[in-house]
Structure 1
Amino acid sequence: MLAELHISSLVVHSTPKRIERVAEAIAAIPGAEVHARSAAGKLVVTLETDTAQQMSAIVAEIQRTEGVLSAALVYQCVDSLDAMNEEMPDGYAQA
């Protein structure tokens, strides 16, 4: 079986007063990155994992984090590591 890379994005809603702690907890998870946050308690998060099971487990972990009101999967992409690492020529446009 070919090695895969799963990339997904989430919108996480936190209580505003706990957003910094929630962002720190998420950033401490291997493969997770917090890209944006708002004063209202919303965070934009991406995950990179090897399997769908790992991704699901991390989403569940985020949902159980103290201060998290919800964590919604917005996008998921999966492809082989070979395809993800393939270099594209300059000017490449996909139709």
Structure 2
Amino acid sequence: MTARDGEIDRRDFIRGRIAPGAPPDRDRPGGLLYIASAVVTARAEDCAEVARHIAAMPGTEVHAINGTKIIVVIESEDSGEIGSRLTEMALLDRVFSANLVFEQIEPLDPPGVG
């Protein structure tokens, strides 16, 4: 299904191309930075070990451990990397789930710079 004229295509929106006819990410000057947060759940006694594994992954930062939940921030210049990293977390031993909570897309270069 395609978007009608003047409407935003869902896939384009997800990829950060919210304006009709906006260039793909790779053609955008300066590129984009994808920032996502996730909650990973594991048994409380396993959280510290799981958090160490997550913190060792590229582009990830563990912000907190609260009981059975590990709060993680993931950053990448490739939107697919966010999903890959989340899947990698979900497949770790002793992890029950890894869920995306929030995703934001930011230009790498501030407006007017370039």
Decide: shared fold, TM above 0.5.
yes
1:28 and 2:40 matched: no
Matches within 5 A, 1:58-77: 58-77=85-104
State the shift of 1:17 in Å.
Answer: 1.7
Where 2:82 maps in the other structure, the secondary structure is: helix
Aligned AA for 2:45? K
Q: How many residues align?
A: 84
Instruction: Please list the CA deviations of residues 1-36 of structure 1 after superposition, one character each: whole Å capped at 9, or x if unmatched.
Output: 121100000011011121111000000011100001
Coordinate RMSD, CA, aligned: 1.5
1:13 and 2:47 matched: no
Aligned residue number for residue 51 of structure 1? 78
State the shift of 1:79 in Å.
Answer: 2.2
Instruction: Please list the CA deviations of residues 19-58 of structure 1 after superposition, one character each: whole Å capped at 9, or x if unmatched.
Output: 11100000001110000102x2111100001111011000
Structure with higher RCO (Cα < 8 A, 6+ apart): 1
Question: What is the rounded CA distance, in whole Å, between the counterparts of 1:17 and 1:68 in structure 2?
Answer: 12
Higher strand share: 1
Instruction: Please list the CA deviations of residues 51-77 of structure 1 after superposition, one character each: whole Å capped at 9, or x if unmatched.
Output: 110110000000001111011100000
Point out where structure 1 has 5 or more consecutive residues left out of the alignment.
Answer: 87-95
Normalising by structure 2, report the TM-score.
Answer: 0.69
Question: What is the rounded CA distance, in whole Å, between the counterparts of 2:64 and 2:45 in structure 1?
Answer: 16
Point out where structure 2 has 5 or more consecutive residues left out of the alignment.
Answer: 1-26
Question: What is the rounded CA distance, in whole Å, between the counterparts of 2:68 and 2:47 in structure 1?
Answer: 6
Which structure: larger Rg? Answer: 2
